[in-house]
Amino acid sequence: VLSSPTSPELKVLQQLPPGSEVVGVGRSLAELALSESQLADVDILAISGVGANAAKKADVQDVWPTLKGLKWIYSSSAGLENLLFPELIESPVLLTNAKGVYSNSLAEYALTACNWFAKDLPRLQRAKADRNWDPYEVEELRGKTMGVVGYGDIGQACARLARAFKMHVVGLRRRAELSEKEKQEGLVDAMYTPDQLTELMSQSDYVVMSTPYTPQTEKLVNAAAIAAMKPNAVFINVGRGKCVDEEALIEALKSRRIRGAGLDVFATEPLPAESELWGLDNVLMSPHCADRTKEFQIESLEFFVLNVRRWLAQEPLQNVVDKRAGY
């Protein structure tokens, strides 16, 4: 297990089924303190931890050549851009991630951002600070359209909550066709492909971006897509910051070309102090922590334990990643 030995979520590994054994825990090859033969016998590598407790990509690359018998890597992250490297991509080693573990919390954040603007919560804060009783009209989310750019697990969770608010939902992904299960659930009114992005942007009152970062999604939401948004529309990003042209977004926000943005992710993290985003009053910001609940790493390892059970039973693993696609 590549993680700090003090990571509290590691207690979940006590639930591993018979037939599996944790032989070492550490953020680096030195911390693992395993012999050459012990490393060569490792079948599964789990990468866990957050912040100071997490192993870095360089640590994974450092231990990689020693794991001669490695068959499967589990990442407790959903995004993989900070893990993938050429040797791993080209190898037969399976890679799974924690897709789905973070979807509910990110969907809650997205709807919070919608309501932040619909109810003009900053105005309430200012009025309270000024002891000013100042009633005003607020908006409902009911009847508004949410456009979901990246209709994967996170996007679907956003759509479910949007439907609870009686919003319309349109989605975007590589495949426009809906599965039978998706048709039965009835979450989306229309599904678009990436070449129809500006159409989705122009229809949406709230655009939620939930794409992973890959070379194909870099600046997917570009200046033209932002220019297609309604003047009163809000852009919300719970995916990856590099998937939007941040400079074009800042210009649209500064000029009030769009109403505002709710951002949990940024092109550069931590967000530089000189970024103009800090000073914009029409931006709700959080430091990439919308999914950092008390339980999120615990639930991620619980998912890993379930997958280990499948592995030992010779059943297909869940969340197998297409390493070349990056998700």
Interval 255-285: pLDDT, tens: 999 999 999 999 999 999 999 999 999 999 9
Which of the following is catalytic: 160, 163, 257, 288?
A: 288
**From the candidates 247, 269, 276, 295, which is the catalytic residue?**
269
Name the active-site residue from 27, 168, 240, 259: 240
Question: Do 112 and 118 touch, CB atoms closer than 8 A?
Answer: no
User: Residue 66: its pLDDT value, please?
Assistant: 98
Note whether 196 and 172 are within 8 A (CB).
yes
Contact 164, 140 (CB under 8 A): no
Work out the average pLDDT over 32-60. Answer: 95
Using pLDDT thresholds of 50, 70 and 90, give the confidence band for residue 108: very high
What is the pLDDT averaged over residues 153-162? 98
Nearest to 1 by CA among 13, 15, 19, 18: 13
288 is an active site residue: yes
State residue 218's pLDDT score: 97
Report the pLDDT averaged over residues 219-233. 98
pTM: 0.93
**pLDDT of amino acid 86:** 97
292 is catalytic: no
Cα-Cα-Cα-Cα torsion 318, 293, 83, 30, nearest 10 degrees, comes to: -110
Catalytic-residue membership of 269: yes
Mean of pLDDT values over 136-162: 98
